Amino acid sequence: MEPELLEWTLEKRRLSDLRCLKKNPRRICKHDADQLKKSITKFGLCEPIVINRDDIIIGGHQRYHTLKRMKKKETIVMVPEEGLCDKDAEELCVRLNRNRGEWDQDILANEFEVEEMLEWGFTKKDFGDFDLDAPIDGVSGDSEEKEAIIKFIVSIPDGEATSFENQLDDLIKKFPTAKKKKKKV
């Protein structure tokens, strides 16, 4: 039998009544703080601050600081039905920031524009080794023709690698000057 879930209620609190958890391990850089402010300005506080029954913030410290900088007086908060002990509050503080999943790189690359993602808070560092500033059709030598340099990494289950490679070879054959470099990891 699974234990009952802790119930939480949505309430309003004055920012001046809230206090930060002393052991909060999260920080925010200026770029991310600016992006958080843009998000709150555009969409409001759609993710409430999480507090304990004694008004100590468990999750949402950066939203709290941003709201204060924005001169807001009140905010919405999530409050547990029963107060959490200090150890549970610390654990939840870490879990709220750690248990966030990861990006699906394929969806990001294929469904969103780089310019939009940069506007929404991504940085060039988030794109790893991909050179966002490089022209897609860089000039190769003194030739009048331009050579498109496209690099990609493909991760394929062993059983499908041969089929993929054959399809890739067929595609490359359509471009007589194309070259394939294979690097197995």
Q: Return d(Cα 80, Cα 83) in angstroms, integer.
A: 6
The count of other CB atoms within 10 Å of the CB of residue 75 is: 20
Please give, one letter per residue, the 3-state secondary structure of 118-179: HHCCCCHHHHCCCCCCCCCCCECCCCCCECCCCCCCCCCCHHHHHHHHHHHHHHHHCCCCCC
Judgement on whether residues 170 and 155 belong to the same structural domain of the protein: yes
pTM, two decimal places = 0.65
The pLDDT, as a whole number, for residue 131 is 55
Task: Name residue 56's beta-bridge partners.
Answer: 19
Give the model confidence (pLDDT) of 93-127 as tens digits.
999 988 767 778 788 888 888 888 888 888 877 77
Decide if 63 contacts 45 (C-beta within 8 A): yes
- Give the domain range for residue 84: 8-98
Give the model confidence (pLDDT) of 28-50 as tens digits.
899 999 999 999 999 999 999 99
Q: Return d(Cα 46, Cα 56) in angstroms, integer.
A: 20
Judgement on whether residues 144 and 180 belong to the same structural domain of the protein: yes
Residue that terminates a domain, selected from 80, 98, 116: 98
Give the model confidence (pLDDT) of 48-93 as tens digits.
999 999 999 999 999 999 999 999 999 999 999 999 999 999 999 9
Judgement on whether residues 91 and 155 belong to the same structural domain of the protein: no
Q: Is residue 1 part of a domain?
A: no
Q: Return d(Cα 19, Cα 64) in angstroms, integer.
A: 9
